[in-house]
């Protein structure tokens, strides 16, 4: 019987009782991931007292500036998870190719993908960051996994979760039976169950989007946000609130707590990339959590969890949150057509440099 003071270990044991015959390997893996999160939380909490704040001076496979903590968090994830014999491979935001489990350790039946530190541009300003993880089954248990093994749709995830390193450290987890939150007691070094069966409100008046990208958005997204901005006098007939932490984990945690809708939609900013966020270790695990909590997650065109990945670091448009708003945004995408013949608004000839309504 679980109570508000059950530990993560007790929770996992209860879950296992519901699946007689299970080996316990998934539980061991989740506990190793939780250990990685505790170790990362401790490093982050030291802030400027450690020498881990600031840029590492390197650029990762994504072409992004690595923070020192990006590298440290990645190392922690690798070390805590490589030894236990549950994994056939790992893939990380910070590594171009899958990580091969060192030969001295046995290979297992799961794959782990992770974003070791999400929202890392927030570290220097002491704003919440997090870690995100996803667990898949290895197509061939006991055989070292290569890139194609990781390219599974999100529907195949066995478990997913994140840790948010905020005023407190909270681990949010699903093993496919609802979403549950565990708060870290830093004195005991133990995660305790603090919210069971999280359910996302169906309606919301709060959205999260980086509006500085507005000129690159598709018409459906501009339409949705413009309608929200018109507030009580506009077509929605109500006022909306906006939040943008620039940390997907923090944004997800807020939405799982009080509802809302998040968008980092497909845009035309960089024609090489279909979106900003990465499918395998950001978008898929968050989508599993959101669906398990009764919300929806879409690319605007299709359910995220059904997308067939083509690349380990594939980026994709991502919209998730309270059901009613995500359904509306999906409808706006359908009404705009496939968008392939749409010009970004910045190219509208009426507003161009020689257009009728030339901006001054
Ligand atoms: O810089 P922007 O456009 O606000 O983007 C913020 C987004 O980038 C991210 O920080 C990307 O994650 P990483 O920090 O792991 O690269 C998301 O957490 C967040 O939603
Ligand atoms: Mg990230
Ligand atoms: Mg990251």
pLDDT, position 342: 53
Classify residue 333: in a domain, yes or no: yes
> In this structure, are 217 and 187 located in the same domain?
no
Do 272 and 163 share a structural domain? no
Q: Identify which of 119, 125, 316 to mutate to test ligand 1's pocket (most ligand atoms within 8 A of the CB).
A: 119
Q: Which of 170, 195, 220 is the last residue of a domain?
A: 195
Ligand showing the shortest atom-to-Cα distance for residue 119 = 1
Tell whether 143 is covered by a domain: yes
Flag whether 70 is marked binding.
no
Residues 294 and 182 in one domain: no
120 lines ligand 1 (CB under 6 A): yes
Does any ligand 1 atom lie closer than 6 A to the CB of residue 119?
Answer: yes
Q: Is residue 1 part of a domain?
A: no
Mean pLDDT across 82-89 = 97
70 lines ligand 1 (CB under 6 A): no
Answer yes or no: do 77 and 127 share one domain.
Answer: yes
Are 67 and 153 contained in the same domain?
yes
Cβ contacts of 239 within 8 Å, gap of 6 or more: 205, 231, 232
For residue 357, is pLDDT > 60? no
Q: Establish whether 118 is an annotated binding residue.
A: yes
Both 187 and 235 in one domain: the answer is: no
The count of domains in the chain is: 2
Choose which residue among 121, 131, 134 to substitute to test ligand 1 binding: the one with the highest number of ligand atoms within 8 A of its C-beta.
121
- pLDDT, tens digit, for every residue of 195-217? 999 999 999 999 999 999 999 99
Q: Which domain holds residue 73?
A: 8-195
CA of 210 to the centre of ligand 2 (A): 15
Gap from CA of 263 to ligand 3 centroid (Å): 18
318: domain CATH number is: 3.40.190.80
pLDDT of residue 351: 37
| Ligand 1 proximity of 211 Cβ (cutoff 6 Å) | no
Rg from Cα positions in the chain: 21
Q: Which pLDDT score is estimated for 354?
A: 44
Residue 360 resides in a domain: no
Q: Which ligand is nearest to the CA of 250?
A: 1
Mean pLDDT for the stretch of residues 74-101: 97
* 235 shares a domain with 188: no
Q: How far is the CA of 278 from the centre of ligand 3 (A)?
A: 10
Are 189 and 298 within one domain? Answer: no
| Residue burial 133-147, b: 16+ Cβ < 10 Å; e: rest | bbbbbbbeeeeebee
In terms of domains, do 304 and 227 share one? yes
Asked if residue 328 belongs to a domain, the reply is yes
Within this chain, do residues 168 and 301 fall inside the same structural domain, yes or no? no
Whole-angstrom distance, CA of residue 45 vs CA of residue 48: 9
The contacts of residue 150 (CB under 8 Å, 6+ apart) are 89, 91, 98, 111, 113, 136, 280, 309, 312
Ligand 1 probe mutation, 129, 216, 247, 254, most atoms within 8 A of CB: 247
Same domain? For 183 and 258 the reply is: no
Here the CATH number for the domain that contains residue 42 is: 3.30.540.10
Separation between Cα atoms, residue 221 and residue 212, nearest integer Å: 13
Q: Is residue 163 part of a domain?
A: yes
- Digit-coded pLDDT (tens) for 119-136: 988 988 999 999 999 999
Is the torsion defined by CA of 75, 78, 81, 84 positive or negative? negative
166 is in an annotated binding site: no
Closest listed residue to residue 125, CA positions, set 247, 213, 29: 247
For 267-290, how does the pLDDT look when each residue is reduced to its tens digit (9 = 90+)? 999 988 999 999 999 999 999 999
Average pLDDT, rounded, for the chain: 91
Q: Is 85 part of any domain? A: yes
Q: Are 67 and 190 within one domain?
A: yes
- Ligand 2 center to 91 CA (angstroms): 14
Q: Check whether 178 is labelled as a binding-site residue.
A: no
Give domain status of residue 41, yes or no: yes
ipTM of predicted assembly, 2 dp: 0.93
State which ligand 1 atom lies nearest to the alpha carbon of 118.
Answer: 15
- Residue 124, pLDDT score: 87
């Amino acid at each position: 019987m679980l109570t508000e003071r059950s530990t993560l270990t007790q929770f996992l044991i209860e879950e296992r009782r519901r699946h007689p015959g299970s080996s316990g390997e998934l539980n061991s893996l989740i506990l190793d991931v939780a250990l990685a999160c505790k170790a990362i939380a401790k490093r982050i909490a030291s802030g400027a007292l450690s020498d881990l704040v600031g840029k590492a001076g390197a650029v990762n496979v994504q072409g992004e500036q690595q923070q020192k903590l990006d590298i440290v968090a990645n190392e922690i994830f690798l070390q805590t998870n490589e030894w236990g014999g549950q994994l056939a491979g790992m893939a990380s935001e910070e590594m171009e190719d899958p990580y091969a489990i060192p030969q001295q350790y046995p290979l297992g039946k799961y794959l782990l993908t992770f974003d070791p530190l999400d929202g890392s541009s927030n570290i220097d300003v002491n704003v919440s960051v997090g870690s995100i993880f996803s667990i898949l089954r290895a197509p061939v248990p006991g055989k070292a996994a290569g890139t194609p093994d990781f390219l599974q749709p999100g529907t195949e995830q066995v478990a997913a979760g994140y840790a948010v390193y905020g005023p407190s450290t909270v681990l949010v987890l699903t093993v496919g039976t609802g979403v549950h939150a565990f708060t870290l007691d830093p004195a005991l070094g133990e995660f305790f169950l603090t919210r069971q069966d999280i359910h996302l409100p169906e309606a919301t008046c709060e959205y999260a989007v980086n509006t500085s990208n507005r000129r690159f958005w598709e018409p459906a997204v501009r339409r949705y946000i413009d309608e929200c901005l018109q507030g009580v006098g506009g077509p929605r007939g109500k006022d909306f609130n906006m939040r943008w932490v620039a940390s997907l984990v923090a944004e997800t945690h807020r939405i799982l707590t009080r509802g809302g809708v998040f968008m980092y939609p497909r845009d035309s900013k960089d024609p090489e990339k279909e979106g900003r966020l990465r499918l395998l270790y950001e978008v898929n695990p968050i989508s599993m959590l959101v669906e398990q909590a009764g919300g929806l997650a879409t690319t605007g065109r299709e359910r995220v969890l059904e997308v067939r990945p083509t690349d380990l670091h594939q980026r994709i448009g991502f919209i998730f949150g309270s059901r009613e708003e995500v359904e509306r945004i999906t409808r706006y995408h359908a009404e705009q057509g496939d968008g392939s013949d749409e010009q970004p608004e910045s190219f509208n000839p009426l507003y161009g440099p020689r257009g009728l309504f030339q901006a001054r």
